Structure 1
Amino acid sequence: MVPNTILLRELAAAALLFLLTRFFIRALLPKPSRKLPPGPTGWPIIGALPLLGNMPHVALADMAKKYGPVMYLKVGTCGMAVASTPDAARAFLKTLDINFSNRPPNAGATHLAYNAQDMVFAEYGPRWKLLRKLSNLHMLGGKALDDWAHIRVSELGHMLQAMQESSLQNEPVVVAEMLNYAMANMIGQVMLSKRVFVTKGSESNLFKDMVVELMTVAGYFNIGDFIPSIAWMDLQRIEGGMKRLHKKFDMLITNMVKEHMETAHERKGKPDFLDFVMANREKSEDERLTMTNFKALLLNLFTAGTDTSSSIIEWALTEMIKNPSILKRAHEEMDRVIGRDRRILESDLPKLPYLQAICKETFRKHPSTPLNLPRVSTEACEVNGYYIPKNTRLSVNIWGIGRDSEVWENPLDFTPERFLTGKNAKIDPRGNDFELIPFGAGRRICAGTRMGIVLVEYILGTLVHSFDWRLPEGTKLNMDESFGLALQKAVPLSAMITARLPLSVYAP
C-alpha cells in the first residue's frame, strides 16, 4: 500500500504543478481583447437598421464623429463593422485583407447575380480568381485596354454627333442617357463584337433605367439580409422587385449570348471577350465555368461598367457648371495642350494635370460606391485593440473619408487644385492611398479600376474640350444624391451645350 500512496501523492503533486504552471503562464501572457468597437445601441431585434435611414453613408459618417474610426453595429442578428478613416480602412483592407476577402450572403447576390455566380459576389477562391484573370487579360488590364482604344474613339464619335444634333436643335442634353448609350456600346463591342444599341432611343433608355434600378435596389439595406429567419416575408418588397428585374436582364443577356454563339463563324480569327472566356470553360474541377457564370459576368461588366463611370462623369460636369472658373481653367489647359482643331486623344491625358485633378476631386467628393461593397470576416480578429467576431460584415465609408475635415481641408468644397501641389499631389485612386479609394482596395478591389479611370478621364476630357456647358434657362442646379451601390444624382443633369471645335471633328 505504501508504494500506491507515494504514487498517488506524486500524481497529485504533478497535477497541482501542471495546473499552477498553466495558471501562471496564462497570467503572464497578454490577454486577447474581447471588447467590441463602440457603436449605437439600436433597437430590440432589428438593431441599428432604423438608424441608417435613406442615406446610410451620411448616417454612418455622422455616427463616426461620435463613436470613432471603427464602429460596431448590431444590425438585425448580424454584426457590422464600419471603417471611417484612412487608417481604419487600411487595417481592414490591407493588414487583414485575406480575412475580409469574401462577401456576405445577401438578396442582391442571390436574386440579381445568379446566386453569386458572378465575379463581384463570388466566393473568394479558384473560380473567382479565374473570372478575374480572364477579365484582366481580355478586357480590363492594360494591354486589353490598349487593344480596344479604337472602339472608345469610335463610340465617343457617335455620342458627340448625337449631342451636336441636340445642340443644333436647341435641345438640352440629358448627360446620363448619352453616357449610358456610349458606354454600353463600348462594352458591347469588346464583349460581343456588336453595338448593343444602334441608335439612341427608347431601347437604350430602358436599359439605362434597368441599370439604375439594379444599382439602387442592390444598395438597399434589406431587412431579410440581416434577419434571415424572416427573409421569406420580404417585408420591404425588395426581393420581389429583384426577381422581376433579374428576369428582364436574364432575357436580354440570354438573347445576346445566343446571337453571339450563332455568329461565331463571322469572328474567325478575331475573337472577342466572350469567345476568350468561353474557350476557358474547363480549367479544372474547381474552376469549371458554366453558362450561368458567363451570363453573370456579362451582367457585372455591363452594369458596373456603365453606371459607376457615368455617375462620376455626370457629377464632375455638374460641379464644373456650378463652378464656372473650374470649367474655364480646364478649357484653357486643353486649348493650350491640344488646341481647338482636333478631339482629345488618350495620349493627351498625362499632359492634362488639371483635368486629372478634377477627376480625383470628383472621386473624393462623389465616390461611385459610397460604402464600398460589403465584406465579411472569415475568422475573428482584432483591429485598433477591438475584437471583431467571425462573420462580421464590413463596410468602409469611402464617402465619409472623402468628407472628413481631419483628412481634407474644406472637404465640402470642390477644389481640384488640392491635388496639384503639396502632400496630395501624389495621391492616386488605384487603392494604395487610403485617403482616396473610390474603387476599394485589397484583393477585392474593383476589377475595373484601370478601365474606370481611363473612361472617366478620357470621356470627361472629351466632353469638356468639345463643348461649352450651361444650364437651360430658368432651371436650378440640383446637387442631391440618390443612394445605391452607385451614388447617382437624384435629378439627372440636363444641360445646354455649344460646340467649341469644328463640326468635322465630331464625326465617329
Structure 2
Amino acid sequence: MMIMNLTTSLPYPFQVLLVFIVSIASISLLGRILSSPTKSKDRYRQLPPGPRGWPILGNLPGLFMTRPRTKYFHLAMKKLNTDIACFNFVGVRVITIKSDEIAREAFKERDIDLADRPNLFILEIILNNYKSMGVSSYGEQFMKMKKVITTEIMSVKTLNMLVAARTIEADNLLAYVHSMYQRSEAVDVRELSRVYGYATTMRMLFGRRHVTQENVFSDDGRLGKAEKHHLEVIYNTLYCLPGLSPADYLDKWFKGWNIDGQEESARVNSNLLRSYNNPIIEERIELWRQKGGKPAVEDWLDTFITLKDQSGNYLVTPDEIKAQCIEFCIAAIDNPANNMEWTLAEMLNNPEILKKALKELDEVVGKDRLVQESDIPNLNYLKACCRETFRIHPSAHYIPTHVARQDTTLGGYFIPQGSHVHVCRPGLGRNPKIWEEPLVYKPERHLQGDGITKEVTLVETEMRFVSFSTGRRGCVGVKVGTTMMVMMLARFLQGFNLKLHQDFGALSLEEDETLLLMAKPLRLSVEPRLAPNLYPKFHP
C-alpha cells in the first residue's frame, strides 16, 4: 500500500522505473536473504543509525524527492542526532560521516578496507573505462598509475622543471588584472581564478596555453574562444561526476538508461573534452614514439609518453594517458578557484584579516619584487587564511566516494562490503563538536599551538576538515595544488588594493546550496599597489 501511494504521486516515467526497480530489487533481496548465513544477518543489526525506509526501495524515494540531494543526508543526520549514518538505496548501503574521529579511523586504521571506488557507468564514460588513477578499482591498474604519478609526474624534479611554466601564469594573472584596471573594468574573481587555474594546468600538462592551432589570444591574458569553451566543458564534465544521485545506486540495474539525464550529459561533455585533449595527445605520442621525439621532456604529457618499464616497453598506454589527462583537467581547477573567491570575500568582510595578510606580504616579500614560489613557506598567515577557507567553505559537499572492499567497522558499527562511504566536508569543518565558533572565519585558529613557530601547511591529516583528501586514495597533487592556490592569492593581494565593485551591492556570504560556491560571483574594483614597472606583460 505504501508503494502504491508513492507511485501515484510521482511522474509517469518514474512510476514505470519504480516498477522495474521493485521487481529486480525484490528478486535480488530474496536471493541475498536465502543465501546469507544467520551470523551475517545478525551483524546487520549493528549498522549505523539511519532513517526508516520503504520496503525494497529503502531510502531512495526520499533522496529522489529532495533538492538539492545533499540536503537529504544533512536533514536525516540532524534528525537522528548522529555523526555517522547508514542509508539503504535499493540494497546499496551508503554511510555518511561528519565526525573527525570516525573519519580518521576510516582513512588511517581502515584505509585498506575502504580503498575501492564505485563501479559506475558515468565514470566508465568519462574516464576511458576506469583507466585513470582516481577512479580505478584498488588493484593493479590503480597501483601502476599511482606509482607513475607520485614518482614521476608529481616528483620534485618534475615540479621544479615546471616552475617557469607556473611563473608565466602568475605573471599573466597580474597582466590580466592590470589591463582590467586600465580599462576601469570590474574584476570577476571567479572568472579570473578559473582562467588562472586553467592556464596553469594547461602549461604543466600540455606545455602550452592554447588547445588549437590558431593560438588566438587578446594581448591582456583573456582566453581565446576555443580555450573558453574547453574550460566550460571541463566544468560541465566535473559536474557530471557522481553526486549522490539515484543514478549512482541504480547503475547496476539500469546502466545506460540515462536516469536523471546524467549519462547523456557525461557522454556529450566528455566527448567534447576529448575533442580538445586527444589531438594534442595523439600528435605528441606520434612525435615521441614514431618520429624520434623532442630535444627534452618539457611537461607532464612528455613524461607520460616517454616512461618505459624495465624491459624497455612504454609504461603508459595511449588510452591511459588520455584518461589521466581528463582526470587532471577536472581535478586541478575548481579547488583553487573556489578557495580564492571565498578567501577574498571573507577578507573584505573582515578588514583586519586583510590588513594582516598584506602586512605579512610586505614584510616577507616587500614591494620591490614580485612574490615567488620560494616565498610560500614564509607566508604562514596567508596559508592560515586558505586553511580557514577550506574549513568553512569547501569546494564540494563530500570527498570522492570510497567503497568497502570487505566487511569492516567504523565507530563501532558494522560496515558491509560494497558500502559507499561519504565523508561530509561541511559536516567536519562546521561541526561545533570539533571547532569553537565554527561559523566564524578566524585564520588565527590555525596558528595556535605549542608556542613554537611552525610552517603552516594546507594539509589536514587529522580530518578536522578536508583540504586535500588523504589515505591511499588521497590527492597526490598536494604540493602543486598548494603552490597554485597560494601563488594566485599572494600575487593578487600583493599587486592590487581592492574593494567591492559599485555594481556588486552589499557583500553577501550566502552560498549556493548545490555547488557551495558564492551565490553571487564576487566582483571587485582594483588599484595597483606596486610600481608600474613591476607589472608584467602578457606572455602567450
Q: TM-score range by the shorter chain?
A: 0.7 to 0.9
1:14 paired residue number: none
Instruction: Kindly state the Cα deviation for residue 274 of structure 1 after the two structures are TM-superposed.
Output: 1.8
Q: Which one of 470, 473, 483 corresponds to residue 444 of structure 1?
A: 473
What displacement does 1:220 show? 3.0
Contact 1:173–1:497 (Cα < 8 Å) also in 2: yes
By how many angstroms is 1:404 displaced?
A: 0.4
Partner of 1:479: 509
Question: Contact conserved, 2:186 with 2:523, CA < 8 A, in 1?
Answer: yes
Aligned residues: 477
One-letter amino acid of the structure 2 residue matched with residue 48 of structure 1: N
- Determine the C-alpha separation between the residues in 1 that align with 2:297 and 2:85: 51
- Partner of 1:28 in structure 2? none
Equivalent of residue 48 in structure 2, options 18, 37, 58:
37
The equivalent residue for 1:175 is 189
Q: Deviations over 1:412-438 (max 9, x none)?
A: 111111112247997854252221332
1:243 CA drift (Å): 0.7
Q: Distance in 2 between matches of 1:487 and 1:267?
A: 43
Give the percent of matched residue pairs that are identical in Structure 1 and Structure 2.
25
Bigger Rg over Cα: 1
CA distance in 1, matches of 2:450, 2:420: 33
Shift of 1:481: 3.6
1:2-37 CA distance string (max 9 Å, x none): xxxxxxxxxxxxxxxxxxxxxxxxxxxxx9684111
Residue equivalent to 1:95: 109
Q: Report what 2:152 is aligned to.
A: 138
**Structure 2 residue aligned with 1:218:** 241
CA contact (8 A) 1:177 1:208 kept: no
Where does residue 535 of structure 2 map in the other structure?
506
In the aligned structure 2, how far is the partner of 1:40 from the partner of 1:56? 15
Q: Which runs of 5+ in 2 are unaligned?
A: 1-41
Two-structure CA RMSD over aligned residues (Å):
2.7
How do 1:376-391 and structure 2 match up within 5 A?
Answer: 376-391=403-418
Task: Answer yes or no: is the 8 Å Cα contact 2:383–2:486 preserved in 1.
Answer: yes
Corresponding position of 2:35: none
Question: What SS does the corresponding residue of 2:259 show, helix, strand or coil?
Answer: coil
Separation (CA, whole Å) in 2 of partners of 1:144 and 1:61: 42
Shift of 1:295: 0.5
Judged with a 3 Å threshold, the aligned counterparts in structure 2 of structure 1 residues 260 and 289 are, in CA distance, closer, same or farther, namely closer
5 Å-filtered alignment, 1:87-486, equals 87-196=101-210, 199=217, 200-201=222-223, 202-228=225-251, 229-261=253-285, 264=288, 267-280=294-307, 289-422=316-449, 428-476=457-505, 477-482=507-512
**Shift of residue 104 of structure 1?**
0.9
Q: Distance in 2 between matches of 1:192 and 1:118?
A: 17
State the Cα distance separating 1:241 from its structure 2 match.
Answer: 0.9
- Whichever residue aligns with residue 183 of structure 2, its letter is Q
1:282 positional shift: 5.8
Aligned partners of 1:211 and 1:307 also within 8 Å:
no
Shift of 1:114: 1.6
Partner of 1:16: none
Query: How far apart, CA to CA, are the structure 2 residues paired with 1:204 and 1:178?
Result: 14
Matching residue's letter, 2:156? G
SS at match of 2:527: strand
Question: In the alignment, is the contact (CA less than 8 A) between 1:61 and 1:84 conserved in 2?
Answer: no
Equivalents in 1 of 2:500, 2:171: separation in Å? 23
Is the contact between residue 103 and residue 122 of structure 1 (CA under 8 Å) also seen in structure 2?
yes
Partner secondary structure for residue 489 of structure 1? coil
> Which segments of 5 or more consecutive residues in structure 1 lack a partner in the other structure?
1-30
- 1:21 alignment partner in structure 2: none
Contact 2:307 2:316 in 1 (8 A): yes
Task: Give the 3-state SS of the residue equivalent to 2:234 in structure 1.
Answer: helix
SS, match of residue 189 in structure 1: helix
Distance 1:182 1:259, change over 3 A: farther
Match of 2:32 in 1: none
CA–CA separation in structure 1 for the residues paired with 2:416 and 2:89: 14
Alpha-carbon shift at residue 46 of structure 1 (Å): 4.4
Residue pair 2:497, 2:528 contacting (<8 A) in 1 also? yes
- For the residue of structure 2 that corresponds to 1:387, the secondary structure is strand
**Distance (Å, rounded) in 2 between the aligned partners of 1:110 and 1:248:** 16
Matching residue within 57, 76, 82 for 1:63: 76
What is the CA–CA distance in structure 1 between the aligned matches of 2:450 and 2:129, rounded to whole Å? 44
Contact 1:77 1:227 (8 Å CA) reproduced: no
SS at match of 2:520: coil
Q: Secondary structure, in 3 states, of the residue corresponding to 1:109?
A: helix
Q: Distance in 2 between matches of 1:479 and 1:50?
A: 32
Q: Greater CA deviation, 244-253 or 299-308?
A: 299-308
Offset, 1:95? 0.8
Q: Which residue of 1 aligns with 2:39?
A: none
Question: Within 1, Cα distance between the matches of 2:315 and 2:136?
Answer: 14
Task: Kindly state the Cα deviation for residue 478 of structure 1 after the two structures are TM-superposed.
Answer: 4.5
Normalising by structure 1, what TM-score? 0.86
Q: Distance in 2 between matches of 1:341 and 1:33?
A: 66
Name the CA distance, whole Å, in 1 between partners of 2:145 and 2:183.
45
Q: Secondary structure at the residue paired with 1:470?
A: strand
> 1: CA distance between counterparts of 2:441 and 2:460?
22
1:406–1:59 Cα change, 3 Å: farther
- The amino acid across from 2:325 in the alignment is L
TM-score, reference length from structure 2:
0.81
